[in-house]
Structure 1
């Protein structure tokens, strides 16, 4: 058996794979199309593995996007390929079905966080539980916010202006990659972009990526705002997008993966690392410097998600690896 790799994403093959092979129900699967990813395939096998190499690690995104009969073939071949290259393997954002398969092959698998989804069937912001959310949205509109869906090619300068302001407010932080969406490139035609302006000046945007599978819909993905902007900018843009989606008959809005959130002992698999489980809880409580999980979750919970989807990390070996975990963040350009 011969395996092949490419240094950049093979767009059409990956798009076809994530559309057709939805057994793992990964709501973030569209991120496989991010530029900078590498793709592993096996001749004759229907599907692909997406990953990035950082140092001596291969960081795999999700499980293989593959036909049921070829899932094991791709996973086994990719594992052998990584070992043959003298690398270590860690997989992140595995779904429960992926996690069980990896654990069955001797990986150490732990819950690393969760993603969140809202059913749009009958969704409304009426009622007392959304009172504060409605107030923030109203305030943004009173401050002059207008929202429109835009073609990314037409608002590139506006997006760049918002990005510069947002990153500048983070002390010159780097743009995150890999587990975060992008704007532009070959995949942009499949995304949707909503932009907010006040007095004609761009102040915020949200990019939405398609989600496939039984909870098909859109994922609230990359979002930015100017730091000195009106309260409620992101909430107002998302509320506007929700109404657009509902009129189109979209059934689900996903809020994507947030590490360290939704942790529950009931989600752990046999053979998980107790020490790593403890670390995830510690990072939820005290890890804001690494990732602002509590802030991210607070925003998502404003929309009263109907579904919490546990997500997993898998280390190739009998124990969890702190260097492997660190290389996930390195692949994301977090440090």
Structure 2
């Protein structure tokens, strides 16, 4: 895994690239050449995450080698969370590319909570603090049992049929944990919420606001107060960006659609954006991110080798635990 991390540090220009380190991912490399592709096997599909993490001049060759690898396995490639810069590359390599959502980022050097637009956010943070909330950065090893307890309560609060989303969100523990940072909130000494942050590489380096959980029926504003503490910490350390991450089915717009887009797929994704809250909690995620008035909103894309297929979308939803 150290080799994968080195490739990400050297070549990944993607705010969520660290999620490639998740347990359960597989990696395609070519001996003697720079670059890595992260993917998961899902039936007859290889679900690729985040594009090709390689030097710019080597990306197309590595992608075509990966397609040869998939063909030898009688598999078809689908890729998710591609960036705008990836669209033409994947189109040249025979993919149908559609916008699937957007990612949201804060420039920490410009961030502040002054002004009327942040009144509700300031009030939420104040309410959380008045409830007795204290926030501190904690080593995961010391918090592991508390984190699991919060996770169990959070999941029960979502309903008996809800499963944890995977693949497009981070994790705690595993090979990348030493590089993550964990901020926890306590009330009366009891852990009630946490946010995990991962490193972000590329032109906009900093941190990725990744996994966040709180116990049900807790005081309003817990996560906002924790994130504000983290933001203040990262700014003091000189970090440039806090990436709030990718949210599927948000920010969909005709001007962001790829020339190779499938119209039926675009229609289906818009339907998920309008009615798919049971598939993915996009509305609540977006509302949380918009509270912080992100400075940058970037479209992200879904690509299918050949024509778009309903089976590939179904497999993606399965591999993320959305179904």
Alignment TM-score > 0.5, same fold: yes
Alignment of 1:22-33 (within 5 A): 22=12, 25-33=13-21
Q: After superposing the two structures, state which structure 1 stretch, 148-157 or 95-104, moved more.
A: 95-104
What whole-Å deviation, never above 9, does each CA across 1:147-176 have from its counterpart, x for those lacking one? 000000001111011000001111243222
Alignment equivalent of 2:267, drawn from 265, 278, 281: 278
CA contact (8 A) 1:208 1:222 kept: yes
* Aligned alpha-carbon RMSD (Å): 1.0
Alignment equivalent of 1:187, drawn from 155, 173, 176: 176
- Segments of 5+ residues of structure 2 without an aligned counterpart are none
Whole-Å separation in 2 of the counterparts to 1:131 and 1:74: 49
CA contact (8 A) 1:45 1:73 kept: no
Alignment equivalent of 2:149, drawn from 158, 161, 169: 161
CA contact (8 A) 1:260 1:284 kept: yes
Structure 1 residue aligned with 2:6 = 16
Whole-Å separation in 2 of the counterparts to 1:122 and 1:275: 40
Say whether residues 1:131 and 2:155 are aligned partners. Answer: no
CA apart distance, 1:44: 2.3
Structure 2 residue aligned with 1:55 = 43
Alignment equivalent of 1:227, drawn from 195, 209, 216: 216
CA apart distance, 1:322: 1.5
CA apart distance, 1:55: 1.2
Say whether residues 1:334 and 2:318 are aligned partners. Answer: no
Structure 1 residue aligned with 2:98 = 110
What whole-Å deviation, never above 9, does each CA across 1:154-203 have from its counterpart, x for those lacking one? 01111011000001111243222211101112211111100001001111
Say whether residues 1:207 and 2:207 are aligned partners. Answer: no
- Segments of 5+ residues of structure 1 without an aligned counterpart are 1-10
Whole-Å separation in 1 of the counterparts to 2:289 and 2:226: 14
SS of equivalent residue, structure 2 residue 51? coil
Q: So what's the TM-score if we normalise by structure 2? A: 0.97
Whole-Å separation in 1 of the counterparts to 2:154 and 2:83: 31
Alignment of 1:304-319 (within 5 A): 304-317=293-306, 319=307
Whole-Å separation in 2 of the counterparts to 1:211 and 1:285: 30
Structure 2 residue aligned with 1:296 = 285
Whole-Å separation in 1 of the counterparts to 2:50 and 2:203: 17
Structure 2 residue aligned with 1:170 = 158
Report the count of equivalent residues: 322
Whole-Å separation in 2 of the counterparts to 1:88 and 1:330: 16
CA apart distance, 1:271: 2.0
Whole-Å separation in 1 of the counterparts to 2:72 and 2:62: 15
